[in-house]
Chain A
Amino acid sequence: MTDTAELETLVGRSYQHGFVTDIESDSLPPGLDESTVRAISLKKREPQFLLDWRLAAFRHWQTMTPPKWAHVHYPPIDFQEISYYSAPKAPANAPKSLDEVDPKLLATYAKLGVPLHERARLAGVAVDAVFDSVSVATTFKDRLEKAGVIFCSFSDAVQKHPELIERYLGTVVPPADNYYACLNSAVYSDGSFVYIPEGVRCPMELSTYFRINAAKTGQFERTLIIAAPGSHVSYLEGCTAPMRDENQLHAAVVELIAEDDAQIKYSTVQNWYPGDENGIGGIYNFVTKRGECRGRNSKISWTQVETGSAITWKYPSCVLKGENSIGEFYSVATVNNYQQADTGTKMIHVGANTRSTIVSKGISAGKGSNSYRGLVKILPTAHGARNFTQCDSLLMGSQCAAHTFPYVEVKNGSATVEHEASTSRISEDQLFYCLQRGISQEDAVNMIVSGFCKSVFKELPMEFAVEAQALLAVSLEGAVG
């Protein structure tokens, strides 16, 4: 028989993005109280309504307790040990062009493969790169401005379009929604903002790379995407973080709003540092992502490939309010070594003839634990609503785990809800078949895993699909022997 131990040694390839950029940063000392919240707001020169909003969130957060229901285990987080603001120091405030950006910073992006400069142009991707907490370089602003698209850092949006922030912020994920969203609402430092005006098809894929650099810095970013009636946008988010022995908290909030006939496609490739092979270090990725299909015939599609983080706790969700609106969730979640993932989605059907599709592929290797947690809720108003859910788990080795927690609440008799689930191993038969055709074990495993994830990968934009496949190969290398 194939040796399980051999399989497991195959899994361990080291994290390739584990470098630290040595840049002087402008940080707040660790600690969290009202003065921290005020200090962040002051640094960002925020209008009063935002400070009030933050403070209200902070006061509410103090009354809350961390959620315990997820199938993940970690020691309690000391929120007083975290620094809530860290910005790279740049001469005379923000750089006006890429030439003014610290070359070390640009080198960091180059290592990450972020397409700035000409690479960006070639790839047709506009990047709003978030380095720790402050957005340092935004490309393609002109072309987007011509189309009327607003794509900027959250801080810029607060300065330039406060009325849009005031109108939409927290309307999808209210501050009191959950523990980590509430904390984010109080202390978020930056993020991305997108507004696509009526009838506009965004001329390029929008992309943001997030990266946690400074040690002991929590990253609390906020993304708000608004698609006005009849507009289309595709947004890509990629994440990596350097290696650290301590665990780092990442508690982001993403809100999407799709009006009548609007479409938002949100793709994530998440490769935060997962900790070492003994489970030391790694990112706690506690993220709230939710989209609201407010208008008729609107559509929101989440695609995620999750290979990193020590702990992942996230459920990109859709609230389907508009008639005939569509929600989609395509996910590949991989755990290896001691990684834990509790991820899935919520599809809340409110409007008539709303449809949702969930395709979740969980891959567990090493001592990893992978849970799918999903809720499909059909409200009494959702006549003719339909959902299709497919959850597949793939196990590699003998010490990993896969769990599925599907919740279904149907309050309208005309709704159709389908659920399919499977759990399988990479079979020795499949492996031997490939070997017998002369294909190496490593290539065979990659091939089988990619095949398993195919229905999700095909939802990703082309360049991302290639990257996702490569990431998967790296994170599972040696998982089967």
Chain B
Amino acid sequence: MLKVDNLHVSVAGKAVLKGLTLEVNAGEVHAIMGPNGSGKSTLSYVLAGRPGYEVTAGTVRYDGQDLLALAPEERARAGVFLGFQYPVEIPGVNNVYLLKAAMNAARKHRGLPEVDAFEFLTLVKDKMKLMQMDEAFLSRGVNEGFSGGEKKRNEILQMLVLEPKLALLDETDSGLDIDALKIVARGVNTLRSPERAVVLVTHYQRLLDHIVPDRVHVLAKGRIVRSGDRSLALELEKRGYDWLTQDAA
């Protein structure tokens, strides 16, 4: 589904990703781990098409097309979802309004009519129950005055409603207490299916206790330096990253 080949990315003229290669198949969950500054967030941003991230070499194929040739909104409509590490506040814009606009944009792309208002609300409320969110969230401004944990839950809620093919979750576990972590993990697990793939970017292995990955990759200094199965994450927890990053230097 996603094939990243020898990707080089610069931010403000500084090389951050230096030849990253990664392949994620439909139905798989991959975890990308690594120390601060290794390029984890850059990877999710560049895949989502954030301006300011310059691809200097390499290719990214998604569902058989050149992902990098698509505008950010086109990628989103094609099923790429980014769960932000720091979701931004948009004062005065209702959560439900944004969500509906997002859903209709995707439906329009697929040649479907706009979603029925009643059906939509039923769907959203259903997903909110799963995320243990109060319905009052719907009429609040997007992330406006939300706590860190509420913002993260809201990201997962959006993901559940939009049902992306490829979900990139950037440190979705940071700032969550253990109960919130379980709720978020449950949300992500609900979405797992043979047609979808999830890329989890995380510092900590504790998220992986709840969302069990098929593959674990260690990103250091802009490259994947080690890949393995779930046991790699457990090993990292014991040994830290130093033994791997030294190899990469």
Residues of A participating in the B interface, judged by any CB pair closer than 8 Å: 1-2, 427-430, 432-441, 443, 447-448, 450-455
Residues of A within 8 A of B87 (CB): 433
Query: CB distance A441 to B73 under 8 Å?
Result: yes
Residues of B within 8 A of A438 (CB): 73, 76-77, 102, 105-106, 109, 162
5 extra interface residue pairs, beta carbon distance < 8 Å, beyond A433-B142, A436-B76, A447-B97: A427-B88, A432-B50, A432-B51, A436-B84, A451-B142
- A429–B50 Cα distance when bound, in Å, is 9
Within 8 A of A (CB), among B102-142: 102, 105-106, 109, 141-142
- A170–B169 Cα distance when bound, in Å, is 65
Query: CB distance A447 to B72 under 8 Å?
Result: no
- A429–B52 Cα distance when bound, in Å, is 12
Residues of A within 8 A of B101 (CB): 434, 437, 439, 443, 447
Residues of B within 8 A of A452 (CB): 91-92
CB-defined interface of B59-97 with A at 8 Å, one 1/0 digit per residue?
A: 000000000000111011100011010011011110001
B202 at the interface (CB under 8 A from A): no
Query: CB distance B84 to A453 under 8 Å?
Result: no
Q: In the complex, which of the residues A436, A447, A450, A453 has the most CB atoms of chain B within 10 Å of its own CB atom?
A: A436
Residues of A within 8 A of B142 (CB): 433, 451
B98 at the interface (CB under 8 A from A): yes
Query: CB distance B82 to A436 under 8 Å?
Result: yes
Query: CB distance A454 to B73 under 8 Å?
Result: no
Query: CB distance B105 to A437 under 8 Å?
Result: yes
B48 at the interface (CB under 8 A from A): yes
What is the distance, in angstroms, from A466's C-beta to the closest C-beta of chain B? Answer: 15
- A453–B93 Cα distance when bound, in Å, is 10
Work out how many contacts link A and B, with CB atoms closer than 8 A. Answer: 81
Question: What is the chain A residue whose CB lies nearest that of B102?
Answer: A437
Query: CB distance B84 to A433 under 8 Å?
Result: yes
Q: In the complex, which of the residues A430, A439, A453 has the most CB atoms of chain B within 10 Å of its own CB atom?
A: A439
Residues of B within 8 A of A427 (CB): 88
B interface, how many residues as a size bin?
A: 20 to 34
Query: CB distance B90 to A451 under 8 Å?
Result: yes
B158 at the interface (CB under 8 A from A): yes
Query: CB distance A437 to B90 under 8 Å?
Result: no
Known: A1-B52, A430-B90. A451 touches B77 (CB 8 A): no
Known: A438-B106, A443-B101. A450 touches B92 (CB 8 A): yes
Residues of B within 8 A of A448 (CB): 90, 93
Query: CB distance B105 to A440 under 8 Å?
Result: yes
What is the distance, in angstroms, from B55's C-beta to the closest C-beta of chain A? Answer: 15
Known: A447-B90, A448-B90, A451-B91. A437 touches B48 (CB 8 A): no
Within 8 A of A (CB), among B35-66: 48-52
What is the distance, in angstroms, from A305's C-beta to the closest C-beta of chain B? Answer: 15
Question: What is the chain B residue whose CB lies nearest that of A443?
Answer: B101
- A447–B51 Cα distance when bound, in Å, is 20
Query: CB distance B93 to A447 under 8 Å?
Result: yes
Query: CB distance A439 to B88 under 8 Å?
Result: no
Query: CB distance A436 to B72 under 8 Å?
Result: yes
Query: CB distance B93 to A451 under 8 Å?
Result: yes
Question: What is the chain A residue whose CB lies nearest that of B77?
Answer: A438
- A448–B92 Cα distance when bound, in Å, is 8
Contact of B48 among A2, A436, A439, A450 (CB under 8 A): A436
Give the 7 A-B residue pairs with the shortest CB-CB distance, closest first: A451-B92, A438-B76, A451-B93, A454-B92, A437-B102, A438-B105, A435-B72
Question: What is the chain B residue whose CB lies nearest that of A427?
Answer: B88
- A447–B91 Cα distance when bound, in Å, is 10
Query: CB distance A453 to B92 under 8 Å?
Result: yes
- A441–B92 Cα distance when bound, in Å, is 18
Residues of A within 8 A of B49 (CB): 435-436
- A441–B49 Cα distance when bound, in Å, is 14
Residues of B within 8 A of A430 (CB): 88, 90
Question: What is the chain B residue whose CB lies nearest that of A3?
Answer: B51
Question: What is the chain A residue whose CB lies nearest that of B141?
Answer: A451
Residues of A within 8 A of B82 (CB): 436
Residues of A within 8 A of B109 (CB): 438
- A453–B101 Cα distance when bound, in Å, is 19
Residues of A within 8 A of B51 (CB): 1-2, 428, 432
CB-defined interface of B148-189 with A at 8 Å, one 1/0 digit per residue?
A: 000000000010001000000000000000000000000000
Query: CB distance A437 to B92 under 8 Å?
Result: no
What is the distance, in angstroms, from A452's C-beta to the closest C-beta of chain B? Answer: 6
- A438–B81 Cα distance when bound, in Å, is 9
Known: A448-B93, A451-B93, A453-B92. A439 touches B105 (CB 8 A): yes
Known: A438-B106, A439-B101. A433 touches B88 (CB 8 A): yes
Question: What is the chain A residue whose CB lies nearest that of B144?
Answer: A451
Query: CB distance A437 to B93 under 8 Å?
Result: no
Query: CB distance A437 to B98 under 8 Å?
Result: yes
Question: What is the chain A residue whose CB lies nearest that of B80?
Answer: A436
Question: What is the chain A residue whose CB lies nearest that of B79?
Answer: A438
Residues of B within 8 A of A435 (CB): 49, 71-73, 76
What is the distance, in angstroms, from B102's C-beta to the closest C-beta of chain A? Answer: 4
- A436–B87 Cα distance when bound, in Å, is 11
Residues of B within 8 A of A1 (CB): 51-52
- A455–B92 Cα distance when bound, in Å, is 8
Residues of A within 8 A of B102 (CB): 437-439
- A437–B88 Cα distance when bound, in Å, is 13
- A428–B45 Cα distance when bound, in Å, is 13
- A66–B141 Cα distance when bound, in Å, is 45
